[in-house]
Structure 1
Amino acid sequence: MLFDTHTHMDAPEFEEDRDAAMARAVEAGVSRLVNIGFNRETIPTTLALAEKYDFVYAAIGWHPVDAIDMQEGDLEWIESLCSHEKVVAIGEIGLDYHWDKSPKDVQHRVLREQIALAKRVKLPIVIHNREAHEDTIRILKEENASEVGGIMHAFSGSWETAKICLDLGFHLSFGGPVTFKNAKQPKEVLEKTPMDRLLIETDAPYLTPHPYRGKRNETAYVRLVAEMAAQLKGISLEEIAEQTMKNANKLFGIS
């Protein structure tokens, strides 16, 4: 019973075969997933997906790449949707210094505002951090994000960075890149991550695991991430599935 903690099954890439892809996920052993709504367009489609499928939950927030597009009233809109019974986290939020769309100061402000929102609604946060380790950690510390905790999504940092995130009360989530043959650092970090802080994800349709790298990712492939995690930890796939399911349920408050 696998839990994909970060996916985008509402994406246009699944327009032609979404129901079939969801069926493949169930067949692969996925019994729960969190779909991410990260802007004005994807928050409604994420909630619609969660309402259609019993095993789908939702995280809603404003992506750092789109921070420049956040308008007056958007934060209040997100907060109003947090009472939805399927909303289990605020995200994905964070910093992205790879794509040069939103100025850093705008990203910082939007991240801080959403951490404050998470505290108000008492939900964990899902952190997107791309090429911004230092500033991300600084803001998480300054805003006392450990009060709500959450997930470092698609974790790609060093073990030194991982230790800081763990000390802040965050879980580390690993996806397709940990299966790549040249992924020395992600493999080392996963191996050292405490079992009670480990999560798995796909980020579908992106970050497709080996041997499907270069093709569209989908939630069913979280099984490949789980298999790699089991291999690195030297335990069974069943043990990885059970522990990561337990971790995700506890973090998201799912009974």
Structure 2
Amino acid sequence: MQLVDTHCHLDFDELTRDREGVLARAKSVGVARMITICTEIEKFPQVAAIADSVDEVFCSVGTHPNHAQDEREFSAQEIAALALHPKCVAIGEAGLDYHYNRADKDLAHRVLRAHIEAARLSGLPLVIHSRDADSDMAGILEQEYACAPFKALLHCFTSGRELAQRALALGLYISFSGVVTFKSAPDLRETAALVPLDRILIETDAPFLAPVPHRGKTNEPAYVADTLRVLAEVKGVTPEALAEITTANALKIFDKMPALAA
């Protein structure tokens, strides 16, 4: 069984303290690819260096909405140029976060639109962060897609069914994290049940949101296998089947990553 953790943060302190152990445990459960996600463009060199040092690790480039006020606004052209790095397979994570609301909305919207344009320019998928911003997120995605298409996925999906349906109508993918395993998330599991198998992805968002039975601990890529098991139950398929499906989906949308060995 080969798995892809489509979203983790290997540059965060919680995981750098034992990176060799984290990578070894991921390998032991079949995690064949990890995408370490950039949250501040100014720190992209450190993120890219991790990807360069480990064959199984790839990366993205982008500004998280909660860091939009912390660094200068990068143009779409600048972001796309950085994405030419050989191991960079995605743009982002970028998006809207009205839960913490750390960035002015006008700034947050501009930064998101710049990343959408960077996704178009680079041909790489946009990794979208959306929290408590369903209506605005759906509206921006639909407006931008009407101008010109782009590839994208909603990562760590915890939003409502309407955003999922509107995103799927645009051809986007939806990625589920350990939150889908929480006892408090029956509505999210109902939404996951409606997502077509050819649009579903799995992730950890490590070091955050460890799935059951690791909840409360530091999350790590190996735990994507626990999310997979719960999501397989929700979808009515075996873990082995869902592993094959989600891995194929990951390689399809993140098509700059090389194919896996048999």
| TM-score of the aligned structures, taking structure 1 as reference length | 0.95
Q: Please report how far the alpha carbon of residue 214 of structure 1 lies from its aligned counterpart in structure 2 after TM superposition.
A: 1.2
Q: CA RMSD in A?
A: 1.5
Gapped runs of 5+ residues in structure 2? none
Per-residue deviation, residues 150-189 of structure 1 (Å, max 9, x unmatched): 1101111222221111001111100011001121111111
Deviates more, 1:179-188 or 1:140-149: 140-149
Take 1:39 and 1:122, find their aligned partners in 2: how far apart are those partners? 20
SS of 1:3's equivalent in the other structure is strand
Take 1:83 and 1:66, find their aligned partners in 2: how far apart are those partners? 23
Take 2:21 and 2:30, find their aligned partners in 1: how far apart are those partners? 14
Residue 54 and residue 139 in structure 1: after superposition, are their counterparts in 2 closer, same or farther (change >3 A)? same
Task: Give the corresponding residue for 1:151.
Answer: 153
Q: Please report how far the alpha carbon of residue 77 of structure 1 lies from its aligned counterpart in structure 2 after TM superposition.
A: 4.3
SS of 1:37's equivalent in the other structure is coil
* One-letter amino acid of the structure 1 residue matched with residue 142 of structure 2: K
Q: How does 1:151-190 map to 2 (within 5 A)?
A: 151-190=153-192
Take 2:74 and 2:184, find their aligned partners in 1: how far apart are those partners? 44
* One-letter amino acid of the structure 1 residue matched with residue 246 of structure 2: T
Residue 98 and residue 138 in structure 1: after superposition, are their counterparts in 2 closer, same or farther (change >3 A)? same
* 1:218 aligned onto 2:220: yes
Take 1:6 and 1:70, find their aligned partners in 2: how far apart are those partners? 22
Q: Please report how far the alpha carbon of residue 75 of structure 1 lies from its aligned counterpart in structure 2 after TM superposition.
A: 5.3
Task: Give the corresponding residue for 1:199.
Answer: 201
Take 1:87 and 1:154, find their aligned partners in 2: how far apart are those partners? 20
Task: Give the corresponding residue for 2:244.
Answer: 242
SS of 2:51's equivalent in the other structure is helix
Q: Please report how far the alpha carbon of residue 252 of structure 1 lies from its aligned counterpart in structure 2 after TM superposition.
A: 0.8
Confirm or deny: 8 A CA contact 2:60 2:83 kept in the other structure: no
* Percent sequence identity over aligned pairs: 44
Q: How does 1:106-117 map to 2 (within 5 A)?
A: 106-117=107-118
Take 1:115 and 1:233, find their aligned partners in 2: how far apart are those partners? 30
| TM-score of the aligned structures, taking structure 2 as reference length | 0.93
Take 1:50 and 1:114, find their aligned partners in 2: how far apart are those partners? 21
Q: Please report how far the alpha carbon of residue 26 of structure 1 lies from its aligned counterpart in structure 2 after TM superposition.
A: 0.5
Per-residue deviation, residues 192-249 of structure 1 (Å, max 9, x unmatched): 1100000000000001111111111000000001001111112111101000000010
Take 1:235 and 1:209, find their aligned partners in 2: how far apart are those partners? 19
Write out the 4+ residue segments of structure 1 that deviate beyond 6 Å after TM superposition.
Answer: none
Task: Give the corresponding residue for 2:28.
Answer: 27
Q: How many residues align?
A: 255
SS of 2:93's equivalent in the other structure is strand
Take 1:40 and 1:74, find their aligned partners in 2: how far apart are those partners? 11
Per-residue deviation, residues 84-121 of structure 1 (Å, max 9, x unmatched): 11111101000011113211111001111111111111
Deviates more, 1:175-184 or 1:35-44: 35-44
